[in-house]
Amino acid sequence: MGVADGWVELGDRVFVRRYALYDQNIGVILGTGEALVIDTRSSYRQAREILTDLRSLTGDPITVVVDTHGHFDHAFGNAIFRPASIWGQERCVGFMERTGEARKAKIAAETPELAGELDEVVIDPPDRTFGEFATIEVGGRAVELRYLGRGHTDHDIVVTVPGTAVLFAGDLVENGNVPFYSDGFPLDWPATAAKVAELVGDGVIVPGHGDHAGRDFAASQAMSIAQVADLARRVVAGELTLDDAVAAHPFPEHPAEDARAPLKRALDQIRGEVR
């Protein structure tokens, strides 16, 4: 494992770089003569920063991009990487088309210092999509994309590179950060997170935000995500009040959502209001 100018090599020519804004991880897979980037950050300025930082790793073009999901901080830099192909789960496209403009306005209002750079973003969803599984290729290397079920959104994917032990998990797990539930499926997420933990095996998991880690971390986060679903079920069963459930909640409050948001989203899903 090496560190080169801010890039950490977690597997053979598989790198991650951690950006202070949102404590976010961006992945890079180097092939022969071309490279792949995982997630594109929130704006053109931030995406260009990735390209600048990449110069210390490779002079090869980025021909493939993978969006782990369609949230602004993972996909609003997409256009800067064109003409690269951009891969995502098939529902990522509609999600970005439906929510992109409203999300731009919301983030700009909440974070005025980003308003200018968000303003120029044109929503540019993936043009290459798949349902459950895809093997793609970059410079002679295979890269596997998997949809493991609903969780943080209805279209999160994980990225693995055969021959290495690295798994990029997007926001299905967060390390040192709090999972964001507002577009989530709290009742499905526990099983999906458990599959992520199983898939990582003895390897390294790179969360969307925070330190990379091992299976134990992924398994413990999967258990916490299951606790959220259980707390919501107990509220519906009349065993707990919502306030008691919030107090027993395994995650501290997410900076971008109310402390009650995860449980409310779970209650909505139990009541059939989240589809």
Residues that bind Zn ion (CB under 5 A): 71, 171
The nearer residue to Zn ion, 13 or 41, going by C-beta atoms, is 41
- Give 53's DSSP letter: H
The nearer residue to Zn ion, 41 or 71, going by C-beta atoms, is 71
- Least distance from C-beta 180 to Zn ion, angstroms? 6
CB 154 within 8 A of CB 199: no
Distance in angstroms (rounded) separating the CA atoms of residues 262 and 272: 15
The nearer residue to Zn ion, 148 or 240, going by C-beta atoms, is 148
The nearer residue to Zn ion, 13 or 103, going by C-beta atoms, is 103
Name the strand (E) or helix (H) holding 4: strand 2-4
- Least distance from C-beta 46 to Zn ion, angstroms? 15
Alpha carbon distances (Å) from 4 to 14, 30, 54, 97: 12, 14, 11, 37
Cis peptide before 190 (omega within 30 of 0): no
The nearer residue to Zn ion, 147 or 240, going by C-beta atoms, is 147
Q: Is 211 exposed, middle or buried (0-12, 13-18, 19+ CB in 10 A)?
A: middle
- Least distance from C-beta 64 to Zn ion, angstroms? 21
